[in-house]
């Protein structure tokens, strides 16, 4: 091998080696970021699952009004798992959400005239009578079959 070839080979190695080390550094950052994203998603799902278990249990124990519980469960389940949200057993939550979507909340609810509030409350009672059994069955199904058991932090 002549001197020129050897010099070019060394120059190439001196260029390639730092670039390879930099590429490895960048890949390690990508892998660490992917790991962090997976961990954040796992923690989010665990938190949402825990919240869903609490809401479903509260709905079954009648510690939470049916309409409010159904609305909250529907919103959380949409964020937790789209496939689970689309399960026919969860449709009652969607039905109650859609039936009450037009009802004002918070300050707008307080601003309603008394007869308007009473009209909405009467509709809530109708919906509760109509959907209570299905909502309770769906909440029980979520707790017993659909949601993973709570993680032990022992």
Contacts of 42 (CB under 8 A, 6+ apart): none
> What is the predicted pLDDT for the residue at 137?
98
Residue 154 lies in a domain: no
Domain extent at residue 137 = 3-146
Output Rg (C-alpha) for the chain, integer angstroms: 28
Express each pLDDT in 32-91 by its tens digit. 999 999 999 999 999 999 999 999 999 999 999 999 999 999 999 999 999 999 999 999
Residue 120 lies in a domain: yes
Interatomic CA distance for residues 101 and 82, integer angstroms: 20
pTM reported for the whole predicted model? 0.83
Residue 151 lies in a domain: no
Residue 152 lies in a domain: no
Residue 64 lies in a domain: yes
Residue 153 lies in a domain: no
> What is the predicted pLDDT for the residue at 149?
87
Residue 9 lies in a domain: yes
Q: Note the Cα 77 to chain centre separation in Å.
A: 6
Residue 121 lies in a domain: yes
Residues shown for the chain:
154
Q: Is 81 left (phi over 0), alpha (psi -120 to 50) or beta?
A: beta
Residue 80 burial (10 A CB sphere; 0-12, 13-18, 19+): buried
Number of domains in the chain: 1
* pLDDT > 70: percent of the chain: 99
Q: What is the mean pLDDT of residues 125-144?
A: 97
């Amino acid at each position: 091998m002549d001197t020129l070839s050897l010099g070019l080979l060394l120059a190439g190695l001196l260029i390639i080696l730092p670039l390879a080390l930099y590429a490895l550094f960048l890949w390690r950052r990508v892998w660490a970021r992917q790991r962090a994203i997976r961990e954040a998603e796992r923690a989010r799902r665990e938190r949402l699952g825990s919240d869903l278990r609490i809401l479903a249990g509260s709905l079954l124990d009648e510690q939470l009004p049916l309409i409010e519980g159904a609305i909250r469960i529907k919103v959380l389940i949409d964020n937790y798992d789209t496939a689970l949200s689309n399960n026919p057993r969860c449709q009652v939550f969607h039905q109650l959400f859609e039936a009450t979507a037009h009802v004002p909340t918070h300050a707008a609810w307080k601003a309603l005239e008394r007869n308007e509030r009473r009209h909405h409350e009467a509709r809530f009672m109708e919906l509760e009578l109509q959907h209570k059994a299905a909502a309770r069955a769906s909440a029980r199904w979520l707790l017993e079959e659909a949601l993973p058991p709570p993680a032990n932090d022992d």
